[in-house]
Amino acid sequence: MPRLSSLHLWIKNYISNKHIQIPSAEIHYIISGITGISKEHLLIHKDSIVSNSDSEKIKRAVKKRGNHYPLQYIIGSEEFMGMDFLVTPGVLIPRPETELLVETALKYTADRKYRHILDLCCGSGVIGLSIARMDRYTLVSLSDNSASALRLTHKNSNRLGLSSRVKIYRGDLFSALPVRSKFDLIVSNPPYVPHNRIRHLQKEVLYEPVKAIDGGRKGLEVIKKIIQQAGSFLDEDGILIIEHDDTHKEYLETFCAGEDQPSLRYIKTIDDLAGLPRLSIFSRKHN
């Protein structure tokens, strides 16, 4: 059976022959993810023995990674808000900037008035489940149109021990929910990338489900629907927090005012750590 050191040599040669770059931290993730040996152990015991089948799996994974296949799909998980969430191909990989959405939501839930939460377009469930996990007082509904996304949401919810405070629905936007559902807080990271920009994104993104990313011509197609419909699903004083592209701020500032009978009022936009306008907050309009 191969030793770790010879596997490392194979990987090194593969990388240099193919003129590709894979950071060594990622190699450690791949080996540890496949063998189940901790990264710390791997670093100390450089001559550990690896089974033939694990060695083949590791080589295949390195080849995939060399073709920009996302690391998260190889190891099957991603860290978000300090927790480990399962991710599989067919579901969007959580982005660090989306933690801002969770942090902002938690500021509202800290005030006990915001208890019933909806995560719309939940994907693997990271936003809603993080809120449920970090604020034990909340009751969280999550919905998505994708069956494979919801399978993951279920698994992630169970892994985090949240199933008693979490409900999961399948369907297109708000039509997924039971009639007359009302929430204090709706959070959403819908598909919002302007269509023509998708092919210019990192190659890794091309392995992700395009329907979780493509927001139509300007990236606003789903966002507009959500803002138009959210009012009927929010309690009085209810809040919508929505993640969006950094080109959307100006449009969103005035969108509600320009509607015939707006049910929401624009409150403010918050910048992400890169200083880009990343999410906007709306409140249910008082009549």
Q: How far is the CB of 215 from ligand GLN (least distance, A)?
A: 6
Residue 247: φ, ψ to 5°: -90, 0
Q: How far is the CB of 157 from ligand GLN (least distance, A)?
A: 20
Toward ligand GLN, which CB reaches closer, 75 or 205? 205
Toward ligand GLN, which CB reaches closer, 54 or 243? 243
Q: How far is the CB of 250 from ligand GLN (least distance, A)?
A: 19
Toward ligand GLN, which CB reaches closer, 50 or 193? 193
Distance CA 270, CA 128 (A): 19
Strand order in the sheet with 264-271: 166-170, 139-144, 116-120, 183-188, 234-243, 277-284, 264-271
Q: How far is the CB of 193 from ligand GLN (least distance, A)?
A: 5
Q: How far is the CB of 213 from ligand GLN (least distance, A)?
A: 4
Toward ligand GLN, which CB reaches closer, 100 or 193? 193
Question: Which residues contact ligand GLN by CB under 6 A?
Answer: 95, 189-193, 201, 205, 213
> How buried is residue 265: exposed, middle or buried, by Cβ count under 10 Å (0-12/13-18/19+)?
middle
Q: How far is the CB of 205 from ligand GLN (least distance, A)?
A: 5
Toward ligand GLN, which CB reaches closer, 126 or 239? 126
- 195 three-state secondary structure: helix
Toward ligand GLN, which CB reaches closer, 190 or 277? 190
Q: How far is the CB of 216 from ligand GLN (least distance, A)?
A: 11
DSSP 8-state secondary structure symbol assigned to residue 259: S
- Token pair listed for 132: 């449920």
- Token pair listed for 160: 């985090």
Q: For residue 245, how far is the Cα from the chain centroid?
A: 15
Q: How far is the CB of 259 from ligand GLN (least distance, A)?
A: 23
Give me the residue label for tokens 């978000």.
Answer: 80
Toward ligand GLN, which CB reaches closer, 156 or 263? 156
- Token pair listed for 46: 């450089």
Toward ligand GLN, which CB reaches closer, 49 or 273? 273
Distance CA 168, CA 125 (A): 9
Distance CA 118, CA 187 (A): 6
Alpha-carbon radius of gyration of the chain: 21
Task: For residue 120, list its beta bridge partners.
Answer: 143, 188
Give yes or no for a contact between 34 and 73, defined as CB atoms under 8 angstroms apart. no
